[in-house]
């Protein structure tokens, strides 16, 4: 049983990298996942089986899943490790199911897939080339096959707080789409603020609308991009006030959706881990909550800068530095930058 208050889902290797223009070596993608797992993440999106014409960067997902390093991680961590992949349609799921080893009962390549739909028509067209209703009906066979094969399915709803094409999004529409995903069999629905315009007050309405449609906060996740710098405020609100227990984040704040013009990366994993721990909220990455809530020095290892929690936190921040250097980018995590200066 998950005794931690907040579960982090690391989306860096998928959401973080899918928008990168230059082709990233499979070995870098694999090493990123390895480092993230070593730093304590246990739910790490490994890629997506989407059309390579639409998102060329994810064309290597099969090679990532089949790598010997991921196989070693699966042996070490067993079913406590989840390496989900996104699939947009039945074709994507077949690509996964056709891979050697995916049919293993003990240790399949992945035990979980994620599907994605939009709360607005404009974004649905741009991201999936079909209407919201069509996207939901296309997912019916995907859910049916997943059920058959014993795969867990996570559902995403995009643009829950605003759409780059249609503008304001009605929270009731978010609730309806979340209910449709749950009714088809999604164990959790991740609410995507794809363009990062959300603020805490906006999340009140969205979560309430989902609850009214029968999807309780405990089955929701917050997936915030940080375009306007409000992601962390929204996340702390979702966790401490609204009952959300799962947060998606991306190491070094990598990312952005290729079909969401102007949107930046996800909220950074380092920032979320720091803010939760220093607020006295335990997570699966730093399970030992800081005794006195509101005590940042406890997370940073006291005045001396030492301690087990601080060591693990530094290890996480080092992953962000490493991938930023690999991509030739400045580290997008505020906390990551601050830790470097300490």
94 touches which of Mg ion, ligand HMG, none (CB within 5 to 8 A by kind)?
A: none
Q: Cβ of residue 48: shortest distance to ligand HMG, in angstroms?
A: 5
Minimum CB separation of residue 201 from Mg ion in Å reads 21
Which one of the spans 2-10, 15-23, 25-33, 68-76 is the region binding Mg ion (CB under 5 A)? Answer: 15-23
- Taking the C-alpha atoms of residue 338 and residue 335, their distance in angstroms, rounded to an integer, is 5
Of 8-16, 77-85, 104-112, 136-144, which segment contacts Mg ion by CB under 5 A?
A: 8-16
Residues 328 and 311: their CA atoms lie apart, in Å, by 26
Residue 55 as a binder of ligand HMG (CB under 6 A): the answer is yes
Does 326 sit near ligand HMG (CB under 6 A)?
Answer: no
Residue nearest ligand HMG by beta-carbon distance: 192
Shortest Å distance, C-beta 240 to Mg ion: 23
8 Å CB contact between 5 and 283? yes
155 binds ligand HMG (CB under 6 A): no
Q: Which of 302, 306, 299, 303 is nearest to 335 (CA)?
A: 299
Give the x-and-dash track for 70-89 against ligand HMG (CB under 6 A): ----------------x-xx
Among 38, 77, 91, 306, binds ligand HMG (CB under 6 A): 91
Per the annotation, the verdict on 224 as an active-site residue is: no
Instruction: Give start and end residues of each alpha helix (H) in 39-170.
Output: 61-66, 68-77, 90-97, 121-128, 132-149
**Residue 220 binds to ligand HMG (criterion: CB under 6 A):** no
Q: Does 223 bind ligand HMG (CB under 6 A)?
A: yes
Q: Which listed option, Mg ion, ligand HMG, none, makes contact with residue 95 (CB within 5 to 8 Å by class)?
A: ligand HMG
15 is a site residue for Mg ion (CB under 5 A) = yes
- Tell me: does residue 121 bind ligand HMG (CB under 6 A): no
Among 128, 186, 215, 323, binds ligand HMG (CB under 6 A): 128
- Residue 304 gets which letter from DSSP? T
Q: Which two tokens stand for residue 256?
A: 């952005």
**Residue 193 is a binding residue for Mg ion (CB under 5 A):** no
Minimum Å gap between C-beta 225 and ligand HMG is 6
Q: Could you say which residues in the range 267-306 bind ligand HMG, by CB under 6 A?
A: none
Return the SS3 of 162: coil
Residues binding ligand HMG: number (CB under 6 A):
27
The β-bridge relationship of strands 220-224 and 7-10 is unpaired
Buried b (16+ CB within 10 A) or exposed e, 159-180: bbbbbbbbeebebebbbbbbbb
Containing H/E element for 47? strand 47-48
User: 277, 284, 255: which is closest to 192 by C-alpha?
Assistant: 255
Q: What percentage of the chain's residues is helix, strand, coil (to nearest 5)?
A: 45, 15, 40
- Residue 105 tokens read as 């009962």
C-alpha span between 188 and 191 (Å, rounded): 10
Q: Does 15 sit near ligand HMG (CB under 6 A)? A: yes
Q: 103 φ, ψ to 5°?
A: -85, 5
Q: Of the candidates 4, 26, 51, 213, which one interacts with ligand HMG according to CB under 6 A? A: 51
The Cα–Cα gap between 28 and 69 comes to 12
| Radius of gyration, alpha carbons of the chain | 19
Q: Does 158 bind ligand HMG (CB under 6 A)?
A: yes
Residues of this chain that interact with Mg ion (CB under 5 A) are 15
Residues that bind ligand HMG (CB under 6 A): 15, 18, 48-51, 53-55, 86, 88-89, 91-92, 95, 116, 127-129, 156, 158, 192, 194, 223, 225, 257, 259
Active site members: 257
């Amino acid at each position: 049983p998950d005794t931690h208050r907040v579960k982090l889902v690391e989306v860096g290797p998928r959401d973080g990298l899918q928008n990168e223009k230059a082709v990233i070596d499979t070995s870098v993608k694999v090493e990123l996942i390895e480092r993230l797992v070593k730093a304590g993440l246990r739910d790490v999106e490994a890629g997506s089986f989407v059309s390579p014409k639409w998102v060329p960067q994810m064309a290597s997902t099969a090679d990532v899943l089949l790598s010997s390093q991921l196989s070693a991680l699966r042996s070490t961590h067993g079913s406590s490790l989840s390496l989900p992949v996104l699939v947009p349609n039945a074709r994507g799921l077949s690509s996964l199911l056709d891979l050697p080893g995916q049919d293993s009962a003990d240790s399949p390549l992945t035990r979980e897939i994620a599907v994605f739909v939009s709360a607005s028509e404009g974004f649905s067209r741009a991201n999936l080339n079909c209407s919201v209703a069509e996207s939901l009906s296309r997912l019916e066979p995907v859910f049916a096959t997943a059920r058959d094969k014993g795969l867990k399915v996570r559902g995403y709803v995009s643009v829950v707080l605003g759409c780059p094409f249609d503008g304001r999004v009605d929270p009731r529409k978010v609730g309806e789409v979340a209910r449709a995903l749950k009714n088809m069999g999604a164990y959790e629905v991740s609410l995507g603020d794809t363009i990062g315009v959300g603020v805490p007050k906006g999340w009140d309405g969205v979560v309430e609308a989902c609850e009214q449609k029968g999807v309780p906060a405990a089955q929701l996740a917050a997936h915030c991009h940080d375009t306007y710098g409000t992601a962390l405020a929204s996340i702390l609100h979702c966790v401490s006030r609204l009952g959300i227990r799962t947060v998606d984040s991306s190491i070094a704040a990598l990312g952005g959706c290729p079909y969401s013009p102007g949107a930046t990366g996800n909220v950074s994993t380092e920032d979320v881990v720091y803010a939760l721990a220093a607020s006295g909220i335990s997570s699966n990455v730093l399970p030992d909550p800081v005794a006195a809530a509101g005590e940042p020095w406890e997370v940073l290892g006291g005045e001396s800068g030492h301690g087990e929690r601080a060591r693990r936190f530094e290890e996480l921040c080092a992953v962000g530095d490493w991938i930023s250097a690999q991509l030739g980018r400045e580290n997008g995590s505020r906390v990551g930058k601050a830790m470097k200066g300490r």
